[in-house]
Amino acid sequence: MNNVTNNGESEVGKYSIATVSDLTEIPVTTLRFWEKTYRLVEPVRTEGGHRLYSDTDIERLSWIKARIDSGLQARAAHRLLALELDKAPHETIAEPAREAGLILFATRDPMIVGVQELFLGDRGYAMRIVHDGLHVLRDAEAIHPDLVIVDLVLPGADGLMVCEALKANPKTADIPVLMFSVFDIRKRALAAGASAFLQKPAAGAGLIAVVEELLAAQRHTAA
């Protein structure tokens, strides 16, 4: 994203919400909802209460739209923009889980890592990121994480092989594994030893719910 200043012509409000909707292909209702919910792009108002967007506003909205088109959810896209701007969005964020744990996360997709760190980091989970299936096996035995999240496609050993190896090793067999893939391979994942499966894009409330369910079951088993 190009750097923009907070002063000058780029900050002057001059585009109506209808014009911005046409330029960005974002519906008017969505623009209003994002403004109210995230408060990251806030156009100036005329004396009559009409919104006027600046060039900077349009640049930021276009950036968000591009990330959503690539597969992110709106909330994650706004959070990533906030990080770009070094400014936390003003939406209400859930308090971290009281018994957050260590998650070993394996994927070669940097975009997925960023999204998962946003969602899981907000809940207080510590994340260890690896990009190779063999590294998952090495680190799982060394640090014994509370949960392993593994992508299907990995160099070294794919997600199915990782699941089978983790369950075959007495030192890691008790660690729950969440596998995800763009393909619907739920039956193969569960047969390989995965505790749960999510199909991409796997993020947001659905991801949090599965992670917390697996960790709760793990704590119950260990008690």
Q: Is the pLDDT of residue 9 over 50?
A: yes
Indicate the residue among 84, 114, 149 that finishes a domain: 84
pLDDT in tens, 33-73: 899 888 889 999 998 889 999 988 999 999 888 878 776 67
Count how many domains the chain has: 2
Which residue would you say has higher pLDDT here, 209 or 119? 209
Predicted pLDDT at 4: 39
201 and 146 co-located in one domain: yes
> Sorting pLDDT into bands at 50, 70 and 90, what band is 2?
very low
Which residues form the domain of 211? Answer: 102-222
Predicted pLDDT at 72: 67
69 and 109 co-located in one domain: no
68 and 148 co-located in one domain: no
Q: Is the pLDDT of residue 21 over 90?
A: yes
31 and 78 co-located in one domain: yes
Sign, Cα dihedral of 104, 105, 110, 114: negative
Q: Is the pLDDT of residue 95 over 60?
A: no
Q: For residue 43, give the CATH number of its domain.
A: 1.10.1660.10
135 and 180 co-located in one domain: yes
In a domain, 1, yes or no: no
pLDDT in tens, 182-207: 899 999 999 999 999 998 766 666 77
Full-prediction pTM beyond 0.75? no
> Sorting pLDDT into bands at 50, 70 and 90, what band is 124?
confident
74 and 138 co-located in one domain: no
107 and 190 co-located in one domain: yes
Average pLDDT over residues 139-154: 92
Average pLDDT over residues 142-149: 92
Predicted pLDDT at 100: 67
> Token digits for 218?
């793990």
In a domain, 18, yes or no: yes
Sign, Cα dihedral of 71, 73, 76, 82: positive
Of 48-52, 103-107, 120-124, 185-189, which has the strongest mean pLDDT?
A: 185-189
65 and 116 co-located in one domain: no
Predicted pLDDT at 133: 92
Q: Give backbone dihedrals phi and psi of 156, rounded to 5 degrees, phi first.
A: 85, -60
Give the integer Cα–Cα distance in Å for 65 and 53. Answer: 16
145 and 57 co-located in one domain: no
Predicted pLDDT at 223: 59
> Token digits for 125?
């989970």
